[in-house]
Amino acid sequence: MIASEAATVGTTDSANGAGPVVRVEGVRKSFGTNLVLDGVDLTVAAGDALVIIGRSGSGKSTLLRCINLLEPIDDGRILLEGDEITRKGVDVSRVRQRIGMVFQQFNLFPHLTAIDNVTLAARKIRKLSREQAERRARELLKTVGLEEKAEQHPHQLSGGQQQRVAIARALMMEPHVMLFDEVTSALDPELVGEVLIVMRDLARTGMTMLVVTHEMQFAREVGDRLVFMDEGRIVEEGVPADVLDNPSDERTRRFLRRTLQLPESLEELTVNEEGVEE
């Protein structure tokens, strides 16, 4: 009953009404001499799920980390609901409260139960009482299909269940946008689906989401837009099915071919020392 429960979770209203929730303008970012984001422009409308794909090292995680103010940018600016969050003197912790982030590694506290993991930050930062926090946390655990697991510790949960607890934990802060960075990449294949379903249902509630993933079926079915990143730039953007079935940029084609995501028969492909032959 995840889908019906999820209806209580979404936050479609942005503070200033109709404008984009996230706007990235000309963002550049280097680590030393390594230029990692090379002028990224991106707009995510309220309620949209934007999927980000691209090769390892193309800057996907760095982009999400910059949006969440975990990395300072060198140039450009980032706006959240119309506010420039990359300006000097911004209240970082207030900005982060509006942004939920879920990583590949769930990072739950091993000594805390699922419900305590979900409520901890909300009680400390949002100053909710234990009772208020637990009531909300139980609703969220139900939403992610884990109401029966509230009192379990992480080691008693599967990876997929732990990741769903991590999603509930992020939702506990009532974020206005959720960032997902390869949240299913560390999971056994049979556990991937349960996490993707929770994300799909969250998207259906109208949550604004930026999702870095290799799950192309998810991108196709849940994404409103898809961007392909290469060497710190967005080289292609569009409706997911269009980009995936008919990429216009050669770099996108090559990426999809290498990950066997192009609708080409396996029989037509050969392999060499580099991997899938071009």
Nearest approach, Cβ of 276 to ligand ATP (angstroms)?
A: 17
Closest approach of ligand ATP to the CB of residue 61, in Å: 3
Return the one option of ligand ATP, Mg ion, none that residue 193 interacts with (CB less than 5 to 8 A, by type): none
54 vs 160, beta carbon nearer ligand ATP: 54
CA distance 196 to 194: 6
DSSP 112: S
Give which of Mg ion, ligand ATP, none residue 122 binds (C-beta under 5 to 8 Å, depending on kind).
Answer: none
DSSP 277: -
Least distance (Å) between residue 54 CB and ligand ATP = 6
Binding site for Mg ion (CB under 5 A): 61
Picked from Mg ion, ligand ATP, none, the partner binding residue 20 (CB below 5 to 8 A depending on kind) is none
The least CB distance from residue 65 to ligand ATP, in Å, is: 7
Copy the structure tokens of residue 59: 């800057």
Q: Which is nearer to ligand ATP, 29 or 176 (CB)?
A: 29
Q: Which does 36 bind (CB under 5 to 8 A by kind): Mg ion, ligand ATP, none?
A: ligand ATP
For 14, 114, 176, 266, the CA distances from 134, given in Å and listed in that order, are 26, 11, 21, 50
Cβ within 8 Å of residue 236, ≥6 positions away: 227, 228, 243, 247, 248, 249, 251, 252
Smaller CB separation from Mg ion, 203 or 212: 212
Q: Which does 113 bind (CB under 5 to 8 A by kind): Mg ion, ligand ATP, none?
A: none
Cα 223 to Cα 97, 142, 241, 256, distances in angstroms: 24, 24, 9, 17
Helix (H), strand (E) at residue 29: strand 22-31
Smallest separation, CB 220 to ligand ATP (Å): 19
Residues that bind ligand ATP (CB under 6 A): 31, 34, 36, 54, 56-62
User: Among residues 66 and 150, whose Cβ is nearest to ligand ATP?
Assistant: 66
Distances (CA, A) of 122 to 34, 158, 169, 180, 260: 37, 24, 9, 19, 42
Tokens, residue 201 = 């249902």
